[in-house]
C-alpha cells in the first residue's frame, strides 16, 4: 500500500474511482477535461492524494491549501472528494489519505483543515470524527450555482422541482 500525490498518468483511474463518490459516469475525454487535469497536476496548492494497493488506486481525497490574511497570515486547508472503491472499504485507506492531507497541511503551516461531507449517515460522520474532525466548531452553507449539481435527495432540489411544476 502506497499513499502519494497523483501524477499525470492517474487521470483515468481517478475518474473511475469517482464513480464511487457521486458521479454517474466518467466525463468525456475533451480538451476541457485535459486542461483541468493539467491545471490540477501543476497547481502547487492542489494536492490530489491517492492510495494505491497492488498497483490500483483504491482511495483518494483532495487537499487544497488556501492562502489567508488572518490567523497571523497562516493558510488553511480544505479537504474534499474523499472516496474509497467499494471493494476496499473499511481497511483504513481513506483514513491514510486524510492523514497524508494533514501532513501536507502541517508542512504548509496551516492553522486548520476544513472538510465537508454531503452524507448524513452516522457511520460516515463517525468516520470523520474518528479521523480527528469535528462538526461543532463551524456551520457550513452551500450555494449551488446550477441546480442540476445539487445532490439527489436534497431538500432544496425538492423545492426547485416544486417550483418548476
In CATH, which of 3.40.630.30, 3.20.20.150, 3.90.800.10, 3.40.630.10 is domain 2-137?
3.40.630.30
Residue 164, pLDDT score: 43
Residue 147, pLDDT score: 76
Residue 111, pLDDT score: 98
Low-confidence ranges of the chain (pLDDT < 50): 152-165
Residue 163, pLDDT score: 41
User: Can you list the pairs that 61-69 forms with residues at least 24 positions away whose Cβ atoms lie under 8 Å?
Assistant: 61/94, 61/97, 61/98, 61/101, 63/100, 63/101, 63/104, 63/105, 63/113, 65/104, 65/105, 65/108, 65/110, 68/111
Neighbours of 30 (CB within 10 A): 9
Residue 160, pLDDT score: 42
Question: Does residue 79 contact residue 114 with C-beta atoms inside 8 Å?
Answer: yes
Residue 156, pLDDT score: 43
Residue 151, pLDDT score: 59
| Strand stretches in the chain, DSSP E | 2-5, 46-53, 56-66, 76-84, 113-115
Residue 128, pLDDT score: 96
Residue 158, pLDDT score: 46
Amino acid at each position: 500500500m502506497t499513499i502519494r500525490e497523483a501524477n499525470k498518468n492517474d487521470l483515468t483511474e481517478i475518474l473511475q474511482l469517482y464513480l464511487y463518490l457521486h458521479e454517474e459516469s466518467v466525463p468525456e475525454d475533451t480538451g476541457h477535461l485535459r486542461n483541468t487535469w493539467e491545471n490540477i497536476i501543476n497547481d502547487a496548492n492542489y494536492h490530489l492524494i491517492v492510495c494505491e494497493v497492488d498497483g490500483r488506486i483504491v482511495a483518494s481525497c483532495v487537499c487544497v491549501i488556501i492562502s489567508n490574511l488572518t490567523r497571523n497570515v497562516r493558510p488553511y486547508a480544505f479537504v474534499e472528494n474523499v472516496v474509497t472503491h467499494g471493494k476496499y472499504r473499511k481497511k483504513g485507506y481513506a483514513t491514510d489519505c486524510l492523514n497524508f492531507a494533514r501532513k501536507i497541511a502541517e508542512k504548509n503551516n496551516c492553522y486548520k483543515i476544513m472538510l465537508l461531507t454531503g452524507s448524513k449517515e452516522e457511520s460516515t460522520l463517525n468516520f470523520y470524527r474518528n479521523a480527528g474532525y469535528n462538526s461543532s466548531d463551524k456551520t457550513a452553507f452551500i450555494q449551488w450555482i446550477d441546480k442540476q449539481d445539487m445532490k439527489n435527495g436534497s431538500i432544496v432540489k425538492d423545492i426547485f422541482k416544486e417550483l418548476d411544476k
